[in-house]
Structure 1
Amino acid sequence: MQLRKSERKKAKIKMALQGSAGAGKSFSALLLAQGLTDNNLDKVAVIDTENGSADLYAHLGNYNVLTLKPPYTPESYIKAIQVCEDAEMEVIIIDSVTQCWEELLDFHSKLAGNSFTNWAKVTPRQKMFVDKILQADAHVIATIRTKQDYVLNQINGKYVPEKVGLKAVQRDGLDYEFTLVFDVDIKHFASSSKDRTGLFMGAPDFIISAETGKEILEWCNSGAEVDGSISTTLGLSQSTSVSEESVKGKIAYTNNIQELILLYKEYPEHQEALRADFEIRKSFLNNLSNPQNFSSNGHTN
């Protein structure tokens, strides 16, 4: 073991664009790629799961398309990313990653036996897919579909569903794995819901352009050169495990005790440091699952 001074290395951006159908995620991703490659779209590959939507913007330039067909397994995505890396693509657009999660949910629903223990057959496959994105030696832009999300609120003694905005159709907490996440609305305006670059934090809503990609590229190249063959993403080397901060964020997004237990087992290296966070979330989920723990004004007893 040896202490060293902190130093931000040159990075390959790993970012996500979240939005509903028609928000312009595919087009925005290509504009970002245009900026990230200094208008050289020959070095851009689109992994297309959206029925050929990637070809709709061919007027932008001569980018490459790799079409995935069902079933959209994590293994298919991993293979597609590897094909793009082998072709030395500088930017890989995955449009979209939602189908991968839907495929895993379908796989889980068809498994015989205990639903809870069956997640042990799903989580490792999802983790391999996410790790492949994070470790890719290229800029990666993933698009994610969103849908209307609801919560149950108690009104006059009854639980009533209430709209609370849009939710990404992917595993909860996936956004914590990315350096930068843009939420794109139906009018094509973007805002950053997560930004480790600091470029867009607190900025007013804007429309994504190639200039946005150039800003991100300048940030990526502003660090020191990476030693050896290890590339850096999220400010960490590939050999470094998922950060404590990332796991802490995932804890907050667990929906039930089963998910919380799986998350606890998935990251043994953080179990001790985050024990209090796990216990607090466990208590909250236990209260949430028992209506008797709620008073008529919606507060826990």
Structure 2
Amino acid sequence: MSILNIRKAQREGARLVVGISGISGSGKTYTALQLAYGLANYDASKVGFLDTENRRGSLYADALKNEAGEVQQFWIGDLYAPFSPQRYIDAILEFQKLGVEVLVIDSVTHEWEGQGGCEEIATAGNPRLPDWKRAKAEHKRFVNTLLQSDMHIVACIRAREKVSVQKVDGKTVVEPLGVLPVCEKNFMFEMTASLMMWNEGKAQQVMKCPAELRDILGRENGYISAQDGKALRAWVDGAKQQNPALEHARNSLRTVTEQGVDALKEAWQATPANLRKQLGAAFLDELKAAAQSFDAQRATSNSHQVDELNQQVLGNGAQAAA
């Protein structure tokens, strides 16, 4: 069974994931919405907003306006604790099922340090011996969903002043690290492009940006607007165009693989026969290989969790009996 579809490289079917970080009041939410509006070709009905900030996103209900100054409504959904990676994944897939083309997530910080997020997942068993392997595995599934989504995604990330505390010659030394995004350390570099907002959005620090998008997202001065979002959409649409229905089916099926082989079979059967034929057997083999790998990872993880639970309940005697 092949796990790859090896072909000549060409730009096609691009989906963007843009990270916008900043301290409170830096303009990241408003900027993200404007960017999303342009990416959606000024069609607010194709814009979704996943709100983890206790309904603060609703304060921006009038943020999108057409040329006549008329408010354009977008879709919004509120996600409350626990902020586990899986709940983020489920929420993203709900917006994808709705037919949203561009999703703003405000914010992804809760997935890392919020109630029920990765930091709590890591310390749930024994705070003194955190299980970062499990937490990071769940985080990776969340990132994979972002990257394989059928939607363009604009992710907002909180930022704050951070310090490093170390022991040097027996003394505690506190070293300022500056303002940094509050997320997993590699997260900002998983994005297509990522920015740190300053001066209420009027200036940006580029953390990552492809050369092709520098004129749009890499200027570093001036507000990022809906026009910039439209320029991003023009860049995406300048690639080789795919059948929208076929591309939607391809991306949706890829995101389903995370749920395992049974979910993939159900989703494949629900896909129209003409699209299944166009996607082909090689693509299905690729999906099956991914779904089987996810199932194997879950089986291993569940086995470890059972062992840990037995040890907690029965003590070391359970381990000896095993």
Q: Which is richer in helix?
A: 2
State the alpha-carbon separation in 1 of the partners of residues 229 and 188 from structure 2: 19
Name the CA shift for 1:224/1:122 in 2 (closer, same or farther; >3 Å). Answer: same
Report the counterpart of residue 224 of structure 2 in structure 1. 208
Deviations 1:224-253 (A, max 9, x none): 1348544599xxx9x69xxxxxxxxxxxxx
> Partners in 1 of 2:173 and 2:128 — Cα distance?
29
Deviation of the 1:49 alpha carbon: 0.5
What pairs with 1:26-41 in structure 2 (closer than 5 Å)? 26-41=29-44
Question: Is residue 193 of structure 1 aligned with residue 193 of structure 2?
Answer: no
Q: 2:58 aligns with which of 55, 58, 67?
A: 55
RMSD of the TM alignment (CA)? 2.9
Structure 1 residue 159: Cα displacement: 5.3
Which sits farther off after the overlay, 97-106 or 145-154?
Answer: 145-154
Q: What SS does the corresponding residue of 1:160 show, helix, strand or coil?
A: strand
Q: CA deviation at 1:152?
A: 5.6
Larger radius of gyration: 2
Sort the Cα spacing of 1:2 and 1:198 in 2 relative to 1 into closer, same or farther, 3 A.
closer
> How far did 1:190 drift?
2.2
Partner Cα separation in structure 1 for residue 212 and residue 172 of structure 2:
40
Q: Which digits, 9 at most, give the CA deviation of each residue in 1:161-187, with x for residues without a partner? A: 232321111111011211011211143
Aligned partner letter, 2:179 = L
Could you say if the C-alpha distance between residues 221 and 107 of structure 1 is closer, same or farther in structure 2, counting changes exceeding 3 Å?
Answer: same
Runs of 5+ consecutive residues of structure 1 not aligned to the other structure: 241-301
In the TM superposition, 1:56-135 aligns within 5 A as 56-59=59-62, 60=64, 61-102=72-113, 103-112=117-126, 115=129, 118-135=131-148
1:184–1:191 CA contact under 8 A, matched in 2:
yes
**Judging changes above 3 Å, is the alpha-carbon distance between structure 1 residues 82 and 198 closer, same or farther for their aligned structure 2 residues?**
same
1:1-301 correspondence to structure 2 within 5 Å: 4-59=7-62, 60=64, 61-102=72-113, 103-112=117-126, 115=129, 118-151=131-164, 160-188=173-201, 189-196=203-210, 198-200=212-214, 203-226=219-242, 229=247, 230-231=250-251
Report the CA distance shift for 1:206/1:153 in structure 2 as closer, same or farther (over 3 A): farther
Check whether the contact 2:206–2:220 (CA below 8 A) recurs between aligned residues: no
CA–CA distance in 2 between the matches of 1:20 and 1:182?
12
Corresponding residue for 2:268?
none
Q: SS state of the match for residue 211, structure 1?
A: helix
AA matched with 1:148:
E
C-alpha separation in 1, matches of 2:96 and 2:5: 33
Q: Amino acid of the residue matched to residue 134 of structure 2?
A: K
In structure 2, C-alpha distance between the alignment counterparts of 1:115 and 1:129, rounded to whole Å: 23
Task: For 2:80 and 2:214, locate their aligned partners in 1 and report how far apart those are by CA, in whole Å.
Answer: 35
Measured after TM superposition, the shift of residue 21 of structure 1 is 0.9
Give the AA of the match of 1:87: L
- SS at 2:57's partner residue? helix
Distance 1:97 1:204, change over 3 A: closer
| Distance across 1 between alignment mates of 2:177 and 2:133 | 30
- Percent identity over paired residues: 29
How far does the alpha carbon of each residue in 1:97-128 deviate from its partner, in whole angstroms, 9 at most, with x for none? 00011122022222138725x22221221111
Provide the C-alpha distance between the structure 1 equivalents of 2:38 and 2:48, rounded to a whole number of angstroms: 14
Question: Match of 1:18, SS?
Answer: strand
**Distance in 1 separating the partners of 2:226 and 2:5:** 42
TM-score, length-scaled by structure 1: 0.70
Is the alpha carbon distance of 1:218 and 1:71 closer, same or farther for their aligned partners in structure 2, counting shifts above 3 Å?
Answer: same
SS in 1 for 2:41: coil
SS class of match (1:175): helix
Are the counterparts in 2 of residues 49 and 67 from structure 1 also a CA contact under 8 Å? yes
Letter in 2 for 1:164: L
Which amino acid in structure 2 is aligned with residue 109 of structure 1? Answer: T
Q: Secondary structure at the residue paired with 2:13? A: coil
C-alpha distance in structure 1 between counterparts of 2:48 and 2:229, whole Å = 15
User: In the alignment, is the contact (CA less than 8 A) between 1:97 and 1:170 conserved in 2?
Assistant: yes
The CA deviation string for residues 133-170 of structure 1, in whole angstroms up to 9 with x for no partner, is 11110110110011112246899995532323211111
